[in-house]
Amino acid sequence: MTEQEGIVWPTPPIGIRSVSPFDDATLEQLLGSLKKNDTEDWFELVQSPENPSPLEAQLPDYDHDAELAAVPAELTEEYREQAIEYIGAVIEVREKVRPDSLRPVSELPEGISRFTSRHWVWYRVNDQMGEREDDQPRSLANTTDHGKYLFFTPDETGVLERIVVEQFLDQPFTSAKVPTEPNRRDDAVLCLYYSDDRYRSNLRERYQNEPEDDTYGVASPYDPESPTIMPRGFKTDDATRRNEYSDKYRNSS
């Protein structure tokens, strides 16, 4: 097991694969199938793979032959119970680190998947997402380098999840993240990823809601009683690799 900010992350029993790449909804569905034992599909999903991932294979204590030997030739009750215990523990620890203000995964719109890791709650579009129009021409971009739009709030992280959902449904964004509780600092930060910065003005005008002296001349459409949202522009991946961040971002992530 590994520990982070008092949170113990479970490791899979030998012969059972790590479910860390599975999104939150898939994990809940898998646990349900295991408990009901009404399908054999779960067996393929939890058993150690014939070919381990490159990262897994590089672990110093990883013994792939031993992992495969621990997978039963046929379904066994002991193996199912081990998988139930492990996956239940993973779901429990994800719930501990995920902000309480986020909606239940069952209430996310179809087409949006959520995945909880140690440090971040990730959002991605999936195959159920319908066609979305890119209503801002590329000519508006100052930079065509991939990066992320940054938003901060001192309020509940759920207000940032609302931005993710709205933008994923309306615009061709496909990836975003907010911090888990152990990873949050004074303000929560949303990173909304995109191929360029063409939406910088559009997003600021739509979501900015902060004290008058911080508006930089951009009026906020939000009611003053709404939670504070502070858009802070676009940061390219190259700038991230160079570790170029404001003090506010460093204090909030």
pLDDT of res. 93: 97
As a residue count, the chain comes to 253
pTM of the predicted protein model: 0.86
pLDDT of res. 208: 83
pLDDT of res. 222: 53
DSSP symbols for the chain: -EEETTEEEP-PPTTB---TTS-HHHHHHHHHHHHHT--SHHHHHHBPPSS--HHHHT-TT--HHHHHHTS-SS--HHHHHHHHHHHHHHHHHHHHHS-TTSPPGGGSPTTEEEEE-SSEEEEEE-TT-------S-GGG-S--S-EEEEEEESS-THHHHHHHHHHHHHS---EEEEE-GGG--SSEEEEEEESSSTTHHHHHHHH-B--GGGSTTPPP-S-TTSPPBEEEEEEEHHHHHTT---HHHHHH-
At 110, list the tokens: 């179809």
pLDDT of res. 248: 53
pLDDT of res. 1: 37
Residue 48: how many CB atoms within 10 A of its CB? 19
Domain extents in the chain? 2-97, 105-252
How many Å apart are CA 244 and CA 221, to the nearest integer?
A: 30
Taking each helix axis from N to C end, the angle separating 77-97 and 24-36, rounded to the nearest 10 degrees, works out to: 150
pLDDT of res. 244: 72
pLDDT of res. 28: 96
Question: Digits of tens for pLDDT over the chain (253 positions)?
Answer: 344 557 889 999 999 999 999 999 999 999 999 999 988 899 999 999 888 888 777 878 888 899 999 999 999 999 999 999 999 999 999 999 999 999 999 999 999 999 999 999 999 999 999 888 888 899 999 999 999 999 999 999 999 999 999 999 999 999 999 999 999 989 999 999 999 999 999 998 888 887 665 545 554 555 546 788 888 899 998 988 887 766 555 554 4
pLDDT of res. 243: 79
pLDDT of res. 101: 96
pLDDT of res. 253: 47
How many Å apart are CA 138 and CA 195, to the nearest integer?
A: 10
Give the pairing type, strands 120-125 and 112-116: antiparallel
At 79, list the tokens: 């193996």
